[in-house]
Structure 1
Amino acid sequence: MTTFGWGTTGEEATAAFAQHIAGRTILITGVTPGGLGLETARVIALRDPKLVILAGRSTEKLQQAEEDVKKAAPNVSVRQLVLDLGSLKATRIAAEEVNNWSDVPSIDVVINNAGIMATPYALTADGIESQFATNHVAHFLFTQLLMPKILASGSGARVVNLSSSGYKGGPVRFDDYNFDGGQKYEKWASYGQSKSANVLYARGLRERYGNKGLQAYGVHPGAIWTNLGHHAKDDLRAMGFMDEAGNTVNSERLKWKTLDQGVSTTIVAAFDPSIADQSGAYLADCQVEETQEDWMQDPEGPEKLWKLSEQLVGQEFPAPA
């Protein structure tokens, strides 16, 4: 990992960890064509995994995703999973489907990649602000419902949560996660809340399941232009990171990565054996990085988030004995 950095590509990272990918079962959420999730699946598929599970909202896009993965690795085993993270009911249905796959007794790595960014204020059908609901709460429920299969893979199972340097935009608002019904809503503070939650959830997983061999990490992939940024174009133009024609602009403050470069840190978090003793860490540019904000230093943060998440999904997930 020490030789990896900002410009490392996903293909370079999977080549380095090929022996840790071969024969393993990996589930990736948010495999939209042109996005980080599908690129992550593609570079993993090159290294002979046992199975790659592609999870996404649309059967049409899932079919396209599978075709793209098999174009890169024709012999890879792929399974599609319809997963709508905007609904806790739909999330439960997806998890139940996976748990009923008798031919998939264990899952070695879960990559919680799906997300939305800087969207207008909206509540899901469950009454939860949409960025927090999609980026964290539904992923929490989905992962916890799959935990028996994750732990069944034995020591070294991993959960990777796609966070962002956007976590600096704000803490988890434990007492007002819905921004006073939208009256106090600010899209970047909301995004920051969800991205802070992604890291705190990784730390919560470490605390509850570390003694069972589970490792968990939060990841900042870098600045990569995908459809995720649709609602952020005006802001990016105002900051000089995008021109009027919608083209990305590099500057001293921000340098855009390619899609392939954007998945390398996820690959490190998912497979690098050298970080096994740093579970709960936040990674950026393929390296472990400290989170400096006060709310990320609060030792009670992971537990407070866990309790709030249980409350929101209506189910408790106590630490195993």
Structure 2
Amino acid sequence: MSTPTFSFETTAEEVATAFSHEIKGKNVLITGTSMNGIGFEAARVIAKHANLVIITGYNSQRLKLSEEAIKKNLASLAAVRTAAAEVNAYAEPLHVLVNNAAAIAQPTFKLTADGIELQMATARVGPFLFTNLLVPKLLASATEQYTPRVVYVSSIAQSMRTGVNFDTIKAPTSETYNHVDSYCQVKAANVLYIPDIHYSHVPPQANLVSDIFTNINQTEEAITKMKMGMLTPEGRPAEGHNWKTIPQGAATTVAAAFDPLIGDQPGAYLVDSAVANDAIAPHSSDPANAKRLWDVTEEIIGQRFEF
């Protein structure tokens, strides 16, 4: 089987068109789909071909918004459980889950009601719980010809710093908090999650996207990227920094969800809509780290998952 050739400039629309046959008839759930973000753009183009797209944040004629049980913010474990129960109650099968939601990397240390650092709660712990609660429904959609898929949005930050700090995940404090470190740890955790979920027999696809100018960069808390020279003080793309547009940035999400050539490659890591496993940092691909992260996350949640 051949696949189209994609590049840095490829848009989500182009990828969805290329894989329209694979998208046809599928039911897809995407978290973190506020306007002017890659989650919404991915949902928009997928909805042109899919049977049903469930999004968590915006309603339009093309996109079905779930009931109030599904929240934008996955930081509350109670809300995650309620949302999962709502999805599990749907009569329709679930073929693809895209974990796109994230919290901005902000200098101010914040804990959720569950005592988890906000970035880690929103982009790692909440999605971990949400995914595992939906695993039986995902598995039920499998056939001899089709394997359900889970997508996690990561970034090149998974290769920066030293990876996941297990001590600060379990016991976060303002004294040990650094917003850049936390951001990099979350992205590394989302890549480490890949071999974990394989224990549940659902092949996930990691999704790396390049820097994309979205609504999350237009907030006062986008100081992290300003300090890295990626944004101007006005929150605009810095000169000389190679940014993707939102349509370009969402392309890899769509490819991770539907490229048929990676359906039998659990843990595929994508850059510019193509597999690039050699770009994974050693600390983000260590099986021992992955197993430890799985165990630590279960400990934080207070629930074990065995399928």
The normalised TM-score by structure 1 is 0.86
Alpha-carbon shift at residue 163 of structure 1 (Å): 0.8
* Compared CA separation, residues 168 and 99, structure 1 to 2 (3 A): same
Is residue 250–residue 256 contact of structure 1 (8 Å, CA) maintained in 2?
Answer: no
Is the counterpart of residue 167 in structure 1 residue 158 in structure 2? yes
Of 221-230 and 306-315, more deviation after overlay is shown by 221-230
Aligned counterpart in structure 2 of residue 274 of structure 1, from 227, 249, 261: 261
Partner of 1:126: 114
Is residue 199–residue 217 contact of structure 1 (8 Å, CA) maintained in 2?
Answer: no
Q: Which runs of 5+ in 1 are unaligned?
A: 57-64, 71-75
Aligned counterpart in structure 2 of residue 305 of structure 1, from 277, 293, 300: 293
* Compared CA separation, residues 237 and 140, structure 1 to 2 (3 A): closer
| 1:133-178 Cα distance to aligned partner (Å, 9 max, x none) | 1100000101111111100110410000011111233411112226
Q: Following superposition of structure 1 onto structure 2, how do residues 1-321 of structure 1 map, counting pairs within 5 Å?
A: 1=3, 3-47=5-49, 49-56=50-57, 65-67=58-60, 70=61, 76=62, 78-81=64-67, 82-83=70-71, 84-101=73-90, 103-104=91-92, 106-119=93-106, 120-154=108-142, 155-170=146-161, 171-177=163-169, 180-206=172-198, 208-210=199-201, 214-229=202-217, 230=219, 233-251=222-240, 254-289=241-276, 290-318=278-306, 320=307
More helix per residue: 1 or 2? 1
Q: Identity rate of aligned residues, in percent?
A: 39
The CA distance in 2 between the partners of 1:4 and 1:250, in whole Å, is 25
Is residue 105–residue 222 contact of structure 2 (8 Å, CA) maintained in 1?
Answer: no
Partner of 1:61: none
The CA distance in 2 between the partners of 1:172 and 1:146, in whole Å, is 25
Is residue 50–residue 77 contact of structure 1 (8 Å, CA) maintained in 2?
Answer: no
**Aligned residue pairs, count:** 295
Alpha-carbon shift at residue 97 of structure 1 (Å): 1.1
Is residue 179–residue 224 contact of structure 2 (8 Å, CA) maintained in 1?
Answer: no
Q: Which runs of 5+ in 2 are unaligned?
A: none
Alpha-carbon shift at residue 77 of structure 1 (Å): 6.2
Say which SS state the counterpart of residue 121 (structure 2) adopts. Answer: helix
Say which SS state the counterpart of residue 196 (structure 1) adopts. Answer: helix
The normalised TM-score by structure 2 is 0.90
* Compared CA separation, residues 36 and 189, structure 1 to 2 (3 A): same
Alpha-carbon shift at residue 298 of structure 1 (Å): 1.8
Is residue 13–residue 264 contact of structure 1 (8 Å, CA) maintained in 2?
Answer: yes
* Compared CA separation, residues 55 and 237, structure 1 to 2 (3 A): closer
Alpha-carbon shift at residue 236 of structure 1 (Å): 3.5
User: What RMSD over aligned residues (CA atoms) do the two structures have, in Å?
Assistant: 1.9
